[in-house]
Amino acid sequence: MDLGLEGTTAVVTGASKGIGLAVTRALAAEGVHVFAGARGSSPELDELAAAGSVRLVAVDLSTAAGSNELVAAALDRGGLDILVNNVGQVSPRLNGFLMVSDDEWLRSLNLNLMAAVRTTRAALPAMLAEGHGSIVTISSVNAFLPDPPVLDYGAAKAALTNFSKGLSKEVGAHGVRLNTISPGPVATDLWLGDVGVAAAVGQATGRDPGSVAQDAAAQSVTGRFTRPDEIATLAVLLASDRASGNVTGSDFVIDGGLTTQT
């Protein structure tokens, strides 16, 4: 299926690895010029950049200046059609709510919510001026599946989903669509890396991280984690006009049947 994206311009945040890297790769494969925002590169992102359609913009997306610089780089090319808000992080709080400090709450809210708010604020005027644009934001099933070890992360993602839905109502009549994707556990470093969720839980409980990950995967009907490329495929479809101008303000869950939200 031709998604009609060739020659368009996209910004992807948190693009050096995991979901962001997969989205960057999928957009580039559709002929999109991708401005990949991240603190630093990775071998995989370097390879995409060498092919010519991806440009790394080294920025700190925990700051307003980073968001503004990333979007400005894309606008210097002449316009912006797609924004994928992906950057985020999670640190399990295994000692209970009372041990989560204000600074930890603020760090989580800043990167999981405010980074998307700021990047959207920077990108939106150009989209409104063109009367066209798609903003896809990576949220989480924790937005509606409360889990004590990730209270701050879940609260930030719930706010992120609400933000996207609310803004979609403001700008939908002007040709700009906003949708969210809510994955369950994904096979990335965030879950499976040396300092990922499985490792943190394993260290706190004396369990092997591999068994922690297996137990988490077993909660899904499919018995496995979602792959980053599966999320990327959905993100690229939502970014395209094939998703139709009437697909906006929606949240798309991809979690292998983990949740039973109706």
Q: Alpha carbon of 205 to those of 109, 188, 198, 219: distances in Å?
A: 27, 21, 10, 19
> Of 175, 80, 166, which Cα lies nearest the Cα of 119?
80
| Secondary structure percentages of the chain, helix, strand, coil, to 5 | 50, 15, 35
Catalytic-role residue among 33, 116, 120, 153: 153
Helix (H, G, I), strand (E, B) or coil at 158: helix
Q: Tell me the one-letter amino acid at 41.
A: S
Distance CA 184, CA 139 (A): 10
- 153 in catalytic set: yes
* Residue 79 to residue 8: CA distance in whole angstroms: 8
Active site residues: 153
